[in-house]
Amino acid sequence: MFANARRFYTEGFRARYYLRTVMELLQTRRLFVIILGLGLFALAARSVTDPDVWWHLRTGQLILQNHQVFQADPYSFTRFGQPWVDHEWLSQVLIFGLYRLAGWGGLIAGFSAVIAVAFLVVFLRCPGRPYLAGVSTLLGAFASAPSWGVRPQMLTLLLASVLLFILERSYRRPNLLWWTPLLMLLWVNLHAGYALGIALMALFLVGDALDSVFGFAPFESQSASQSAARFRTLGLAIVACAAVVPLNPYGAAMYAYPLETLRSRAMQSYIGEWFSPDFHQGRYLPTLAMILATIALPALSPRRLRPREVLLLAVTTFAALRSVRHIPIYALVAIPIMCAMVQACLQERDVTKWFESKHLPMTPAKTLINAVLLASFLAFVVARVRYVSRQQADMEAKELPAAAASFIATQHPPAPMLNHYNWGGYFIWRLYPEYRVYIDGRADLYGDAFMDDLATIYYLRGDSWRTPLDRWGIRTVVLPPDAPLITALEALPDWKTIYADKRAVVLTRKAP
């Protein structure tokens, strides 16, 4: 009898606890944050179209099967056996693990969650009214959305967001900086974007020095000795972060890898995400709006920008204008600064009262409305992920040479095979190890001269465009129908078309 009474009491206590938790979540302010996160998640949920995801999947699979990372290239016949720094090895294990456990839906949901959390952390960094912070966060999300997807760069986005949170909170709690070496240890094994983290820390260090020179104290209540101690802690944290970089399968080679990538002329010339944003395209208009806002607001807002903020904005704005790839990092930096300036403008004009919400008691009707609203958003997000996951096969057939890959797998045209740059990763997933690729998305492995040779072949530049074909003994070519090389080879007697559709044409060369 006593046992039944105790169980009844325990179950009743748990029921009351869960009910109280649900009621707290349905408070309007908390509900706003939850819906913001769900909206970011839904915005990030999209079909997997990044051409590199396929060789990431294959590499993660082989790492798990072989219990070791690659030190040399296994996938191409043009670079086979040459040293390869697979700086994303841990990300690839994560990508394949999600795919094996939950398929495309798991990959899409997992990386959508990564992106949503990254921008929720930005929301937490925004000062002022939560609704204003939410609008600013959404603008930054729309600005960076063209770069989103199932790709290791999204893990760098999340870690950069967390790092900025730590750096800003460390003015009040300097000991938070000692978490950065652990963050960097994880980062350097996930992606070479770890260098961005060290660069942000260095910019904060220089910015703090400029703040001190121009008389900007971190906080009014903070003494000069406390500011100096925090400055020293940040410097030591940077040294500690740099010291953990070699703790990866490639050792000290990871120091040079990010610099080699940034110096690559071919990557800047041939790869779209390294181009400057084209503001004639609608998808880059939110980025333009943010840049214009951060230029105009300092003149309109009574809030003075700190030298540190000016430095961070100047560097990240330059990076965003130079390369589409850097727009998300610019958004992480610009959103809280922009939000603070807008908040100051509204306060000066006594407009903030429009955004004030009175703390009215939650009535049963309000609770029911909030519950219905939350349930509706949850249903929409679930339906969105399911829809996008079901569309993955159709998107693959639309964006990639899926039918051509099936034809090659069954008909076995002769190797070596010349392929399009964006299709190399897909062929690694579909055709390896029966076929090795000519090139894939690892542009750093192939180098500038090789990328130039590929452009010479593809666009028939000069009289030497056939030289690389002969040098590598190419027997099969798989390219889009509108490729200039396809038109030229179809006119030659020693080449014949064996397959063609709207996405790809397969030609083979007669044996010499």
Residue 319 lies in a domain: yes
Do 453 and 324 belong to one domain? Answer: no
DSSP SS3 for 391? coil
DSSP SS3 for 509? strand
* Whole-number pLDDT of residue 261: 81
Query: Could you tell me which residues are beta bridge partners of residue 508?
Result: 476, 496
Q: How many domains does the chain have?
A: 2
CB crowding 33-47: b at 16 or more within 10 Å, else e: bbbbbbbbbbbbbbb
Cα gap 363→361, rounded to integer Å: 6
Q: Digits of tens for pLDDT over the chain (512 positions)? A: 545 555 554 555 555 444 455 445 556 577 888 899 999 999 999 999 899 999 999 999 999 999 999 999 999 999 999 999 999 999 999 999 999 999 999 999 999 999 999 999 999 999 878 889 999 999 999 999 999 999 999 999 999 999 999 999 999 999 999 999 999 999 999 999 999 999 999 999 999 999 988 888 766 556 677 788 889 999 999 999 999 999 999 999 999 999 888 788 888 888 888 899 999 999 999 999 999 999 999 999 898 999 999 999 999 999 999 999 999 999 999 999 999 999 988 887 766 555 555 555 666 777 777 788 888 889 999 999 999 999 999 999 999 999 999 999 999 999 999 999 999 999 999 999 999 999 999 999 999 999 999 999 999 988 888 899 999 999 999 999 999 999 999 999 999 999 999 999 999 998 76
Do 207 and 301 belong to one domain? Answer: yes
Residue 370 lies in a domain: no
* Whole-number pLDDT of residue 23: 47
Do 461 and 347 belong to one domain? Answer: no
CB crowding 403-426: b at 16 or more within 10 Å, else e: ebbebbeeeebeebbbbbbbbbbb
Do 295 and 426 belong to one domain? Answer: no
DSSP SS3 for 476? strand
Closest CA to 298 of 313, 317, 284: 313
Residue 409 lies in a domain: yes
Do 346 and 445 belong to one domain? Answer: no
Do 346 and 453 belong to one domain? Answer: no
* Whole-number pLDDT of residue 17: 47
Cα gap 353→195, rounded to integer Å: 43
Residue 428 lies in a domain: yes
* Whole-number pLDDT of residue 9: 47
> What is the span of the domain harbouring residue 412?
400-509
Alpha helices in 179-306 (DSSP H): 180-190, 194-213, 224-244, 253-262, 265-270, 285-300
* Whole-number pLDDT of residue 268: 82
Pick the last residue of a domain from 355, 390, 421: 355
* Whole-number pLDDT of residue 377: 87
Residue 367 lies in a domain: no
Residue 322 lies in a domain: yes
* Whole-number pLDDT of residue 283: 94
Pick the last residue of a domain from 355, 388, 419: 355
Residues 6+ apart with CB under 8 A from 423: 51, 400, 401, 478, 504
Q: Cα–chain-centroid distance for residue 204?
A: 22
Residue 393 lies in a domain: no
Do 59 and 206 belong to one domain? Answer: yes
Do 484 and 336 belong to one domain? Answer: no
Closest CA to 194 of 171, 162, 170, 169: 162
Do 319 and 446 belong to one domain? Answer: no
* Whole-number pLDDT of residue 94: 97
Do 319 and 418 belong to one domain? Answer: no
Do 293 and 169 belong to one domain? Answer: yes
Query: Could you tell me which residues are beta bridge partners of residue 76?
Result: 437
Cα gap 184→193, rounded to integer Å: 10
Do 281 and 153 belong to one domain? Answer: yes
Residue 9 lies in a domain: yes
Residue 507 is inside which H or E element, if any?
strand 505-509
